[in-house]
Amino acid sequence: MAEKEIDKIIKKAKRKFKVREIIVKHRTGRVKLGEIAFFVAVLSAHRKEGFSAIQFIIDEIKKKVPIWKKEILSNEKYRWK
């Protein structure tokens, strides 16, 4: 479900900002504190469109994509965010 929604966002960003290529990666599984969990790269002819596309993608993913994480606390308890 999350991957389908991310694909929709990528297609919309390509049309809206006229960028050439977009790569979005979101890690699954155990991610340690400080490790990269989310990656967005945009190939564009101009810097302004590229930066705008990245900002749009990140904002849309945070709003629309159902990504949950299990946060493991120092006392070995956990919570879902």
For the domain that residue 29 is a member of, what is the CATH number?
3.90.1170.40
pLDDT at 16: 97
Give the sign of the dihedral formed by CA 43, CA 45, CA 51, CA 55.
Answer: negative
- The residue range of the domain holding 34 is 2-80
pLDDT the model gives residue 57:
97
72: closest CA among 80, 61, 60?
Answer: 80
pLDDT in tens, 30-71: 888 888 888 999 999 999 999 999 999 999 999 998 777 777
From CA 55, how far away is CA 71, in angstroms rounded?
25
Q: Which residue has the higher pLDDT, 30 or 7?
A: 7
* Per-residue pLDDT band at 21 (split at 50, 70, 90): very high
What is the predicted pLDDT for the residue at 27?
85
**Domains contained in the chain, number:** 1
